[in-house]
Structure 1
């Protein structure tokens, strides 16, 4: 049932645009595997073999740490309403940290210069494989909207408080790998 493609096709891009959530999966050569949910509003298709997502501050920063060790990543979208389908994007990722020229350029070109509260990095993914599968086992859910919790939490902090939190929680992974979030260029 699975079909593989060397790049995103227009039909894939159209389908992704109707989804509400995706998941990222990453792992270093040793240690834990990480899977994280992300809002589809943070995702952008930049080309058939290039995608990105804008990443906000969270309780950890596993993906950034993992891709510094081994820059592979998998993104998975699954339909939770409408016809069933799963779409996985496989590739290599680079973290573009907030405040760098690469981040600013991609924020402007890919995200219209709009930066959500608590933004910490953009993950840019070079796509080497796209795979679709049936999604028959994915249950149906009713989408009722985005949660404002993360934005509200970020907006309630001063820039100094947000940086202090990131320095405490987002610079090292669960396995002790550096995330590069505050590395000097």
Structure 2
């Protein structure tokens, strides 16, 4: 049922572009820390090549992905069809965090609609693409994006977000430093 590829083919890219949600998985190396799985909505993912994607990461209550990438770089992105023909697609790769103000941010940011609360770009170099059947994934109807996070971030403002990042986004729940923690510390 599952098939493994070294890079995305056009049909994989088309499938990814048609999904309204994807999931990001990461974990620390020690085997004792928490595995993180985060859902991502909005139009934040960009395909740069058959072996590279990036997504605009919005402020959240934690910053686990950043901490795990800082420690070991391992990341998996998962997409699944909840409408149309069944399929699950995973992108396995090495990721890194691109922060505002860096040269890479200036190069990559124009590819995104910079939503309120944007804190970093996660850039992923893909080493494997795996598809599987998705036969057990139920159907769901997409009715729109939630605007709660964007409204919250806009209300906080730049200074409020900076304070929030200092309070909530500098370390993972396991105490690992995030890229924000390294750059602001």
Aligned to 1:117: 116
C-alpha separation in 1, matches of 2:45 and 2:183? 27
C-alpha separation in 2, matches of 1:163 and 1:39? 22
TM-score with structure 1 setting the length: 0.95
C-alpha separation in 1, matches of 2:179 and 2:5? 32
Aligned to 1:98: 100
Aligned to 1:131: 130
Aligned to 2:23: 23
TM-score with structure 2 setting the length: 0.95
Gaps of 5+ in 2: none
C-alpha separation in 2, matches of 1:53 and 1:88? 15
C-alpha separation in 1, matches of 2:178 and 2:38? 16
Residue 66 of structure 2 is aligned to residue 67 of structure 1: no
1:40 Cα deviation after fit: 5.4
Aligned to 1:51: 53
1:44 Cα deviation after fit: 0.7
C-alpha separation in 2, matches of 1:85 and 1:95? 28
C-alpha separation in 2, matches of 1:2 and 1:146? 31
Residue 14 of structure 2 is aligned to residue 10 of structure 1: no
1:157 Cα deviation after fit: 1.0
Aligned to 1:161: 160
Tell me the secondary structure at the aligned position of residue 168 of structure 1: helix
Tell me the secondary structure at the aligned position of residue 143 of structure 2: coil
C-alpha separation in 2, matches of 1:87 and 1:169? 31
RMSD over aligned CA atoms reads: 1.2
1:183 Cα deviation after fit: 2.9
Tell me the secondary structure at the aligned position of residue 156 of structure 1: helix
1:99 Cα deviation after fit: 2.1
Aligned to 1:38: 40
Aligned to 1:179: 178
- Answer whether contact 1:19 1:40 (CA < 8 A) is retained: no
- Answer whether contact 1:22 1:40 (CA < 8 A) is retained: no
1:41 Cα deviation after fit: 1.1
Tell me the secondary structure at the aligned position of residue 156 of structure 2: coil
C-alpha separation in 1, matches of 2:137 and 2:42? 17
Gaps of 5+ in 1: none
